[in-house]
């Protein structure tokens, strides 16, 4: 076995998908919910994405860039799903959706609190017909309390929670995360909650309601900051750029031909860092003798390290520090990162028609590549036919615009009569 060989697993379960046979009805849009349900698809569940005729998930239009008629944003987080386009603002559509939910194991939605009650798909309503259903809800600020009805998108929650106040450089404006990490973290929490609820259902036979506010996620990920601020509020104030409020040095520094991030998390590493960068005077300075002292003298340390790095290439700094066991890495763009041979070794990407898609962390359970994100209504006829809706009724509903199918010509007329629910949604 070479260092490039994956660890050997049990061949009897290789490619086994633990959620195979389970059905998930996905009413989510944008990012947190779609990312969560894509993870669930990688675990083997059938994920049926319910969308609005004529428009579908708003992110289908979030471009450029576009690929195969849809935005790359949508294509990246909706793989492995089936799309059913149904107007749930109309009685016929609600009836079809109710029948579909009756066959499901899990329902995931991210409407603003109160919308599911108006649509007849609230947990109180659906559990009467399907008591085994796991019902997972994502919203901005929770379903009760003074902020329940406020719009709670990623950027709003970052601002309200304290996350954004930490982001940016000293004396600069607050900035949002480059990737919607609160959405991603909420999606991961939802998957954990659904798996736990499914495990409990295997013992009790009963489903349950789960709620995942983005605001709760944001407060949760601030655990170390909140605790530290209770003891020393001033230690957590301000913005540290790429730095760390409790470790110095631990930041990005500019070299001759790019940027490099480096850090010393203990005294032995600090000594080796000073040796590598020829900072003998700094190593002997009592003001830098401990991490606590370096935090108190942040500017002294960071200015000295910055001056040492500035005259070196990124490769030189990376080599000198790396050879001495100091934390160091070049700062890469995403386009550069995917060229790293480790990406190929770990099989972190799929490629479809020249476009690279990041695999989910749960792809290790799935021996197959997830199918590409569906066209709007691509599976409307197949999915509804599988629960007993006749061909005649499907044709009638397609012609009336209650349904849309990318494979049914008459469904093209549905675009003008869909009920726009986007104003009720928050994320």
153-175: per-residue pLDDT in tens?
999 999 999 999 999 998 899 99
Which residue spans of the chain are classified as CATH 3.40.50.10540?
23-221+355-424
The token duo for 90 is 């109309």
Alpha carbon separation from 119 to 27, 418, 420 (Å, rounded): 12, 14, 13
Task: Give the percent of the chain with pLDDT over 70.
Answer: 92
Distance in angstroms (rounded) separating the CA atoms of residues 330 and 312:
12
Give residue 220's pLDDT.
Answer: 97
Q: Judge whether 165 and 239 are in contact, CB under 8 Å.
A: yes
3-state helix, strand, coil in the chain (%, to 5): 45, 15, 40
The token duo for 244 is 């760390």
Q: Judge whether 77 and 57 are in contact, CB under 8 Å.
A: no
Give residue 8's pLDDT.
Answer: 55
Give residue 298's pLDDT.
Answer: 96
Q: What is the mean pLDDT of residues 111-133?
A: 96
Catalytic residues: 183
Distance of CA 72 to the CA centre of its chain: 15
* 191: Cα within 13 Å, side-chain hemisphere: 23
Torsion of CA 338, 344, 349, 351, to 10 degrees: 100
pLDDT tens-digit readout, 191-221: 999 999 999 999 999 999 999 999 999 999 9
Give residue 1's pLDDT.
Answer: 41
Residue 235 above 90 pLDDT? no
> Which stretches does DSSP call E strand in 33-105?
46-51, 66-67, 70-71, 81-86
H helices present in 142-235, as ranges: 154-161, 163-166, 181-204, 214-221, 223-231
Give residue 366's pLDDT.
Answer: 86
Give residue 422's pLDDT.
Answer: 38
Which residue spans of the chain are classified as CATH 3.30.1540.10?
259-330
Give residue 4's pLDDT.
Answer: 64
Between these two residues, 222 and 13, which has the higher pLDDT value?
222
Give residue 413's pLDDT.
Answer: 44
Q: Judge whether 208 and 196 are in contact, CB under 8 Å.
A: no
Q: Judge whether 243 and 306 are in contact, CB under 8 Å.
A: no
Distance in angstroms (rounded) separating the CA atoms of residues 288 and 298:
9
**Taking all residues of the chain, what is their mean pLDDT, rounded to a whole number?**
92
pLDDT tens-digit readout, 347-370: 999 999 999 999 999 999 988 899
Residue 7 above 70 pLDDT? no
- Max alpha carbon distance in the chain (Å)? 85
pLDDT tens-digit readout, 384-425: 999 999 999 999 999 999 999 987 644 444 433 333 433 334
Return the CATH superfamily for domain 23-221+355-424. Crotonobetainyl-coa:carnitine coa-transferase; domain 1 (3.40.50.10540)
Q: At which residue do the structure tokens 């099989």 appear? A: 347
Q: Judge whether 424 and 124 are in contact, CB under 8 Å.
A: no
pLDDT tens-digit readout, 285-338: 999 999 999 999 999 999 999 999 999 999 999 999 999 999 999 999 999 999
CATH class as words, domain 259-330? alpha beta
Between these two residues, 111 and 238, which has the higher pLDDT value?
111
- Report residue 160: phi and psi, to 5°: -75, -25
* Vertex 351: Cα angle to 107 and 334 (nearest 5): 90
Q: Judge whether 374 and 380 are in contact, CB under 8 Å.
A: no
Give residue 410's pLDDT.
Answer: 43
Burial class of residue 81, CB neighbours in 10 A (0-12, 13-18, 19+): buried
Q: Can you tell me whether residue 223 is helix, strand or coil?
A: helix
């Amino acid at each position: 076995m070479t260092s490039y060989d994956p660890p050997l697993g049990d061949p009897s379960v290789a490619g086994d998908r633990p959620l195979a046979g389970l059905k998930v009805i996905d009413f989510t849009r944008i990012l947190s919910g779609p990312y969560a349900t894509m993870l669930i698809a990688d675990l083997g569940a059938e994920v049926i994405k319910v969308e609005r005729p004529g428009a579908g998930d708003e992110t289908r239009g979030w471009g450029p860039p576009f690929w195969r008629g849809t935005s790359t944003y949508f294509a990246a987080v909706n793989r492995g799903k089936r799309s059913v386009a149904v107007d749930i603002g109309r009685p016929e559509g609600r009836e079809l959706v109710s029948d579909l939910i009756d066959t499901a194991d899990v329902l995931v939605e991210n409407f603003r609190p109160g919308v599911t009650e108006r649509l007849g798909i609230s947990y109180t309503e659906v559990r009467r017909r399907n008591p085994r259903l796991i019902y997972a809800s994502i919203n901005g600020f929770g379903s009760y309390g003074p902020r329940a009805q406020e719009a709670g998108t990623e950027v709003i929650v970052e601002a309200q929670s304290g996350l954004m106040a930490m982001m940016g450089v000293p004396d600069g404006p607050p900035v949002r995360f480059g990737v919607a990490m609160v959405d991603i973290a909420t999606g991961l929490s939802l998957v954990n909650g659904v798996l736990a609820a499914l495990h409990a259902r295997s013992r009790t036979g009963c489903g349950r309601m789960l709620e995942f506010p983005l605001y709760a996620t944001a407060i949760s990920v601030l655990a170390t900051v909140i605790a530290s601020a209770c003891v020393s509020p001033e230690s957590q104030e301000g913005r540290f750029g790429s730095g760390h409020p409790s470790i110095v040095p631990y930041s990005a520094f500019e070299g001759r031909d790019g940027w490099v991030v480096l850090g010393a998390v203990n005294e032995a590493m600090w000594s080796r860092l000073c040796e590598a960068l020829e900072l003998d005077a700094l190593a002997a300075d009592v003001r830098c003798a401990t991490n606590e002292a370096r935090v108190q003298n942040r500017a002294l340390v960071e200015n000295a390290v910055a001056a040492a790095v500035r005259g070196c290439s990124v490769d030189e700094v990376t080599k000198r520090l790396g050879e001495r066991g100091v934390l160091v890495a070049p700062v890469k763009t995403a386009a550069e990162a995917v060229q790293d041979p480790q990406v190929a070794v770990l099989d972190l990407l799929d490629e479809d028609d020249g476009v690279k898609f990041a695999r989910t962390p749960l792809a290790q359970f799935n021996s197959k590549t997830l199918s590409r994100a569906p066209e709007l209504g691509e599976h409307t006829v197949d999915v509804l036919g599988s629960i007993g809706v006749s061909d005649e009724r499907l044709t009638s509903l397609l012609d009336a615009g209650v349904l849309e199918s990318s494979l049914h010509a008459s469904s093209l007329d549905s675009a003008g009569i869909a009920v726009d629910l986007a104003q009720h949604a928050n994320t």
